[in-house]
Structure formats: structure tokens, C-alpha cells
Structure 1
Amino acid sequence: MNQKNSLGLNKCFLDKIDPIDLFEVWMNEAKKTELNDPNALALATSDENNSPSIRMVLLKDFNKDGFVFYTNLNSQKGNELKNNPKASMCFHWKSLLRQVRINGMVKKVSNEVADEYYNSRGYESRIGAWASKQSTILNNRDELLSSIEKYKKKYSNKNDVPRPEHWSGWNLIPTSIEFWLDGDSRIHERLKYTKDNEDDWVKSLLSP
């Protein structure tokens, strides 16, 4: 029989005051059990007409200040986030039968943070940030491959590929984080943290 915490939830929820601490525990467990990309998440944005859009991206950093991912700022998601900074993330770890949903507001990371991460990427990935006009229509695949070759010639020194101004990171600053655990007969367990007016986290149990 599973042990329970003070809220009557499965012990894997722990008794954390800050949800970032619980997320770190769950992410570390996912890294051990997920075959591919435990840091993969579904990112939801919306345009000026409130039409939603969702895609998979990779989480590259997280801490008490938020959850960071990187992209072309002129891509569909980049343009949507410029116009509407509200966004939502969803992690699903099938191996653990767990899910985490995060809602909040995004802001761009500093140039220093973006430079540090960009410079840690492989040469091909750094070239790709220049070559790909993300989300725009290609006439054919060769158009992209030609662009890649052009920038390889321009930046032939693999140790000196500057970060494009149109490529950077977004930090999602959470206003709510929900942890979900699969339950027998669809009686799942859900724990939600919400920021109050004093910027403190408040925990609530949700019905499945």
C-alpha cells in the first residue's frame, strides 16, 4: 500500500512548499526512466485572434525564476509570444504515469544567458539558427540546404559563430503549476500550486 503525505496524496508528491522543488525531484526521476528527451514539453501559445497553437520544445533550464526554452524569435511561437506573453507548458512522462502543467507569463532571457547557451551548442546547430527562417514557407528542401552551406562558408571557424539577434530564449514565469499522477479506474491525483497576491504559493487538491 502506498504511503500518503499530509494531504492524503501519494508519497511521490512530497510536502514541498515551493513547486519548483517538487518539479526538480520529478524531472530527475524522469531522466532515469524516459527513453527520449525527458525535458520535452508541449508549449501552447495563442495569436492576436486567440487562436491556440501547440508544439513540442525542449526545456533547457529551470529554477525559482522560471522555465527556459530557446527558439527563433521570428518563428510562429516567437511572434505569438511577442504579442501575447501568456503561455502554458505540459510535461508528460509516460514511464512514470505523471504529468505537469505550468501556466504563466514569458519574458526574454538576457543576452548574456542566451549567448552562454548558444555557445554551448554544436556547430551544426549554431549554423542552423542562422540558416533556417523558422516557420516560413520553403520552395523546396534544397533552399534550406543551400542556406546552411552559405552560412558554413561565412562562419567557417567553428569556434566563432555569433548568436543571431533573432535567436534567443524565453523564460516562462509560472503563476500556477499542477502535478498529476495516474490513478486506478481514472481516479487520478492532482495537486495544484497557485501564486497568491503576496507572491506565495498556495496548494490545492483537485478532483480528477
Structure 2
Amino acid sequence: MKANIGVRLSLVVALIALSFTATAAGPASQNTIQHPLTKAKTISMSETEASNSVPGNNDAFFGPVPKAEQIFYIRFLEIAPTPIPVSKYFFLLIRGWIPASTRQKLNLELAHLAAATLTISSSAVLDDGAKLERSSVAIPFRTVELGEGAHIGIRNATGAYVDHLALEGQNEILTDYWIPGPFVKTGVWTFEVVASLGGEGKEGVCLFALSLTQRLEGTPGW
């Protein structure tokens, strides 16, 4: 159980990497997505997929909560390397903010961000055909050490590290982690990560929700 939670936490910090497979109705079209840190990338996808793709150097999609119900605007998401490896370090950067109009409409306060949570759900179809049923774990959404050499860090608009997301201005979420191969069962894993506000009257309000499906290769034990 402890090992399984460790794998989920490592993938939460990953928040979302790559080789995402999804289906959507409608004809395929060419869509160009640009962001500040990389060259434009051209992806062949349906219009529905394009509207739900997360900007940046990744193959992540918004969900399971509809994008229109998410109040944290993600400017871009960077993941390196892509796809996420096993038994090697990987890094993630999310940059975004809560629009002023949203803050005013919901009457948000710092306490709602201080009490925010991350809920990570996972399931898998293994190479031998076995299915690992969906399971979830929730952790506080704040700057924290997840283990030796593994962290979630949050920076405000000045670049200073803070305990939780700032109410005003730009936020950056940075992570570093590694997934221990001996704890991973080889197969196609599906992950859903939902960040939600906390505090009186705001429980369950979605900050952002991201989805991925990625193959993970387990390795022999140490």
C-alpha cells in the first residue's frame, strides 16, 4: 500500500505527462499551439482534443472536471523529460493564475488556497491483461517535501517560494521526483489529478484538473 501511494504521489508531482491517448468525435485537423519557452508545436488532433489540450511542452488534457469549471488559468505546462521515465528524475513547471474577475465573483480569500488539496486517481491495464481498479489519494496542495530528493514547490509573482498558491498575480508550481521502477507494474496507466479549493463554503471548487494515460515499464527489484 505504501509503495502504491508513493507511485501516485510521484505522478501527481508529474501532474501529467505524456503519450496521452484519447478519442474524440470529429475530423482530424492541424492545430498549432505556442508558448513562451519552446517553439510552436504542430499536433494532428480533432478540434475537441485541441480545445482540451494543455498549452506547453506536453501531451496533457484538461479533465475530468470540464475546463470551463476550472478557475486556475494555466498559461503553460512543461515536463522534462517526456514521457516521464522510470527510475530517473523528471521535472515539471506549471505557470498560471486565478483571474481577477473569478476572485471577485467567488469572493476568494487566502484561506481557501491555504486549505487546497490535490486528489490523485489511478488505474491501469497491465501487460498480462489484469486490470488495477481505480483508487485515489488526497494530499495538501502546498510546498512540501514528498521524500528524499523529491518536492513540490510553489513560487509567487516575485519568484519567492511560498507555502501555497498566491491569491493575486502569477504562480509557478515546480516539481522534481523519480518513480522507483521496482514498485511499478508494467502496463498502461491512467491518472487524473484534481486540485481543489478548501475552506468554508469553497470545498470542491476546482482549481485545475488534468488527465493523462502513459505506459510505464517496471524494472527488477534492487
Shorter-chain TM-score above 0.5: no
TM-score by length of 1: 0.25
TM-score by length of 2: 0.24
Higher relative contact order (Cα pairs below 8 Å, separated by 6+ residues): 2
- Which structure's residues are more often strand, by fraction? 2
User: Higher Cα Rg: structure 1 or 2?
Assistant: 1
- Which structure's residues are more often helix, by fraction? 1
